[in-house]
Chain A
Amino acid sequence: MSAPPRVLAPFGRRAARVVERRVYGAYVVLRCADPDGPRPRAGQFYMLAAAGWGGGDGERPFLPRAFSVHRAGAGQGLAFLIEDVGPGTHRLCELQAGEDLLLVGPLGAGFVSPADGRRPLLVGGGVGIAPLAIWQDELGGASALLGFRDAARAEGARLLADARVATDDGSVGHRGLVTDLLREQLDHDPHATVYACGPPAMLESVRLLCAERDTAAQLALESGMACGFGACFGCVVPTRRGYVRLCVDGPVLEASELDTAMVAGAGH
C-alpha cells in the first residue's frame, strides 16, 4: 500500500461559515466556506462543533464530533452529511447559512486508489455514504451500492451518481441488505477494490464477503473520539498489529488488517 493519503491540517480550531444547508430526507448537508483550510483527501475527516455547544439534552454536547468530509473542491468549500441522532448531530443539524461551524481538520488518512486494474466498488450504509461521494468524484466515477433503513434515508442516494439502492423495508430498490447487492457483484467478478463505510454490522459483512473472495477492501471505520488528532487515545480499534488510533492511523483501514469490523462502541 502506498503512503496513506493525508493532507496536513492547520493547527488549531477555526470557524468556517455555513453557506448552504440542504435537506435530503433524513439527512442534512452543510456546505461551508473554508478559505484557510487545504483541500482534503477523500476519507479524511474533521472534528465539528458550533456555537451553543453544551446546550442540548443532558447539558451535552461537550466534545466535538467527527465527520468524514462528504464533498470538497475548488470553489465548493467543504460539505458534511449529518443525521440527527444525538445532542451533537442535533445541534449541527440546526445550523443555518450564515452561522459558523467550528472545525479542526482535515484529519486522518483516507482512501487509496485501486491497484492491479481492480475496479473500484463503493458500498455505503446510511449516513456512512458521506465519504463515498467525494471518493466517487476523485475516482472520476465508480459503481455505488447503498443501503438505507427506509425511504426517508434513501433520499441520500441522490448524493452519489448511478447508485443501486437497498432498503430494509423495501420502500426503495432491493428489499434487504446492501451486502446482498455486493455479493451478487462479487460473485460476478471479484477483481475489485471495495470502499465501504457504514454501520459496524455492514462493514463486518463486507469484510467477510471480500475476504472469502480475495477482494481488496478499504473500510472507513467509526469510533468515538474526543480529539481527532491522536491526543486522547480513546478511539482505538483492534487490528492484527494491536490497537491503533483510528484518528491518526485511520479512519480508513485495509480490511485485511482486521479480525473484525465490529468496533466496540461504534454506532452509539
Chain B
Amino acid sequence: MPTELCGIELAHPIINASGTFDAIAARRVFGDALIAQFPFSAFVSKTVTVAPREGNPPPRLWETPGGLINSIGLPNKGLGRYLAEDLPELAALPVPLIVNVMGFTREEVAELVAGFSEREEVAALELNVSCPNVKTGLVMGADPGEVAALLERVRPLTSKPLIVKLTPNASDVVAVARAAEDAGANAVSLINTIRGMALDPRSGRPWLGGTTGGLSGPAVRAVALAQVHAVAAGVDIPIVAMGGVQRGADALDLIRAGARVVAVGTESFRDPAAGTRISEQLALLAANSDLSRDASSLNC
C-alpha cells in the first residue's frame, strides 16, 4: 500500500509517532534485525531541542485503563551532538527520516530548522509546538497567531517539508491547523498526548515527577478520530494521524476520517514490531474496502 507524504515516497502508510521509538537504542537491543525488519515506512525522531535536556525527574510513567500517562520531559542531547552523532547513525535506516524539533522561542526553532535543513539525511521536519513560547507565555500550538508567526519565521529557512504537530490541548485545533496551512506548512500531524495526571495512591500527591503528563494509548483513540475528522474538513494539506492505533482497523478509521499517513506510538511499547503487523492488517482491510477501488480517497 505505497503512499506519499509531501513528496516523500512511503512503502506503506504506517510510521511512528515522535518519542515512541528510539531506533539507535533499538539497534543495540535487536541488532541488524531491526534494520532488516524495520516496522515503519518513515522514522520520526524524538524531539530535538537546541540545548541538551536531562528530562523530567522520575517517576515518569503511570498506567491507566487502556493507556499510559508519561512525563518524560524531552530528554535529548541537543542540536550539536544530535547533528554530529545521531544523524549519521540514523542514515543507516532503510526509510526516510523525519526530525522532530522544538524550541522555547521562535529563534530557537529557526536555529533548529536551519541546522537540519542543510543535512541530506533529513527528509522532512516536524515542528513540536506543544510548549510555551517563553517570550509570550503562550503555548505555541494552542494559538493560531503564534503558529502563524512561527511558520512565517522558519518557512523561508528550508525547502524541506514542514509538518506541524498539533496539540490536542487547544481550544480550536482546526483554527491552528488552518493557520499552519496558510503560513506554509506542508502537512499537519495529530494528536499529541492529552494532558493528564495521576495521584500516588499511598501519599495522595501527584505520582509523576513532572506533576502532569500526556495521556496516550487506546484511551485517546476516539479523541484522535474526532480531531482528525475536524481538521480534515478544515485544511487541504495532508494529515499524519495518530492516537491509540493498535490494529489495522484503527489505522483504517483514521484514513477514512481524512488521514494520509498513520503513526503508531504507545502500541510499539507493547510490541516493537507492532508497526509491521498494523501495516499488514491495514493492507488486507484496504484490499477489501472502498479504499482499493478508489485510491484517490487515500489522498483526500
Interface residues of A (CB under 8 A from B): 6, 8-13, 49, 54, 58-64, 104, 107, 223-227, 229-238, 242-243, 245, 248, 263-265, 268
Closest to B218 in A: A62
Provide the bound-state CA to CA distance between A145 and B268, in Å. Answer: 39
* A49 touching B270, Cβ below 8 Å: yes
**A9 surroundings in chain B (CB, below 8 A):** 29-30
* B70 touching A243, Cβ below 8 Å: no
**B64 surroundings in chain A (CB, below 8 A):** 60, 62
* A223 touching B58, Cβ below 8 Å: yes
* B217 touching A233, Cβ below 8 Å: no
* A229 touching B30, Cβ below 8 Å: yes
**A60 surroundings in chain B (CB, below 8 A):** 63-65
6 A-B pairs whose Cβ atoms sit less than 8 Å apart in the complex: A9-B30, A60-B65, A62-B65, A237-B58, A264-B59, A265-B61
Provide the bound-state CA to CA distance between A139 and B43, in Å. Answer: 42
**B269 surroundings in chain A (CB, below 8 A):** 63-64, 226-227, 231-232
Provide the bound-state CA to CA distance between A231 and B29, in Å. Answer: 11
* B270 touching A13, Cβ below 8 Å: yes
* A8 touching B30, Cβ below 8 Å: yes
* B58 touching A264, Cβ below 8 Å: yes
Known: A10-B33, A231-B22, A265-B58. A63 touches B75 (CB 8 A): no
**B194 surroundings in chain A (CB, below 8 A):** none
B63-85 contact mask (Cβ, 8 Å, vs A): 1 or 0: 11111101010010000000000
**A13 surroundings in chain B (CB, below 8 A):** 270-273
* A104 touching B59, Cβ below 8 Å: no
Provide the bound-state CA to CA distance between A268 and B199, in Å. Answer: 13
* A54 touching B66, Cβ below 8 Å: yes
**A64 surroundings in chain B (CB, below 8 A):** 269-270
**B217 surroundings in chain A (CB, below 8 A):** 62
> How distant is B242 from chain A, measured CB to nearest CB, in Å?
15
The interface residues of chain A, by DSSP majority, are classed as loop
Known: A60-B65, A243-B75. A11 touches B273 (CB 8 A): yes
Interface residues of B (CB under 8 A from A): 19-22, 25-26, 28-31, 33-34, 37, 46, 54-55, 57-61, 63-68, 70, 72, 75, 207, 209, 217, 266, 268-273, 276
> How distant is A169 from chain B, measured CB to nearest CB, in Å?
22
How many A-B contacts are there with CB distance less than 8 Å?
A: 126
| Partner among B21, B207, B209 whose Cβ is within 8 Å of the Cβ of A231 | B21
**B63 surroundings in chain A (CB, below 8 A):** 60-63
* A232 touching B61, Cβ below 8 Å: yes
* A11 touching B272, Cβ below 8 Å: yes
* B75 touching A231, Cβ below 8 Å: no
Provide the bound-state CA to CA distance between A131 and B176, in Å. Answer: 52
* A248 touching B28, Cβ below 8 Å: yes
Known: A11-B33, A224-B61, A237-B58. A232 touches B72 (CB 8 A): yes
Provide the bound-state CA to CA distance between A59 and B64, in Å. Answer: 8
Known: A231-B268, A243-B75. A8 touches B61 (CB 8 A): no
Q: Which 9 A-B pairs give the minimum distances between C-beta atoms?
A: A230-B25, A265-B59, A12-B273, A59-B65, A234-B61, A227-B269, A13-B271, A11-B33, A8-B31
**B65 surroundings in chain A (CB, below 8 A):** 58-60, 62
> How distant is A179 from chain B, measured CB to nearest CB, in Å?
24
Provide the bound-state CA to CA distance between A54 and B58, in Å. Answer: 25
* B273 touching A63, Cβ below 8 Å: no
**A63 surroundings in chain B (CB, below 8 A):** 63, 68, 269-270
> How distant is A264 from chain B, measured CB to nearest CB, in Å?
4
**A54 surroundings in chain B (CB, below 8 A):** 66
Residue from the set A230, A231, A234, A236 with the largest chain B CB neighbour count within 10 Å = A231
> How distant is B172 from chain A, measured CB to nearest CB, in Å?
31
Provide the bound-state CA to CA distance between A9 and B28, in Å. Answer: 9
Known: A63-B270, A226-B269, A243-B54. A231 touches B34 (CB 8 A): no
**B75 surroundings in chain A (CB, below 8 A):** 233, 236, 243
> How distant is A193 from chain B, measured CB to nearest CB, in Å?
25
Provide the bound-state CA to CA distance between A128 and B19, in Å. Answer: 31
* A229 touching B272, Cβ below 8 Å: yes
Provide the bound-state CA to CA distance between A243 and B52, in Å. Answer: 13
Provide the bound-state CA to CA distance between A62 and B46, in Å. Answer: 23
Closest to B271 in A: A13
Known: A10-B33, A60-B63, A236-B55. A230 touches B22 (CB 8 A): yes
Provide the bound-state CA to CA distance between A58 and B37, in Å. Answer: 35
Provide the bound-state CA to CA distance between A220 and B37, in Å. Answer: 31
> How distant is B75 from chain A, measured CB to nearest CB, in Å?
6
**B30 surroundings in chain A (CB, below 8 A):** 8-11, 229
* A62 touching B273, Cβ below 8 Å: no
